[in-house]
Amino acid sequence: MANKSQGTWFVSFELPRHEQRSHSHTRATETFPNEQEAKKFARAKLAETLYVNAGTINPHLPKRTVASTQLLGWLEELDEDDLGRDQ
């Protein structure tokens, strides 16, 4: 039986043309244990493509979905780990 991911965040991104295996595999998704790691990965992917989405994985609450048009704003937000350090 396969192990389930322990991540609570995902980042989905468009694959570069040379990595696309077929028309049905134009995107890939990675999972992360926290928002901070997801943001770090999303920033790196933005250097390759503008089509990057992110969000929380069920059953994580509160549910969050970040569309590619909202990504820059999300990257500028402080996440929970950052808020804990400021206090």
pLDDT reported for residue 31: 96
Comparing C-alpha atoms, which of 34, 32, 33, 43 is closest to residue 75? 43
pLDDT of amino acid 46: 93
Strand residues in 1-87 grouped as ranges (E): 9-14, 27-32, 52-56, 65-66
**Is the confidence at residue 68, as pLDDT, over 90?**
yes
Q: What pLDDT score was predicted for residue 15?
A: 85
Neighbours of 3 (CB within 10 A): 5
Backbone angles phi, psi at 28, to 5 degrees: -135, 160
Check residues 34 and 24 and name the one with the higher pLDDT. 34
- The Cα–Cα gap between 3 and 66 comes to 26
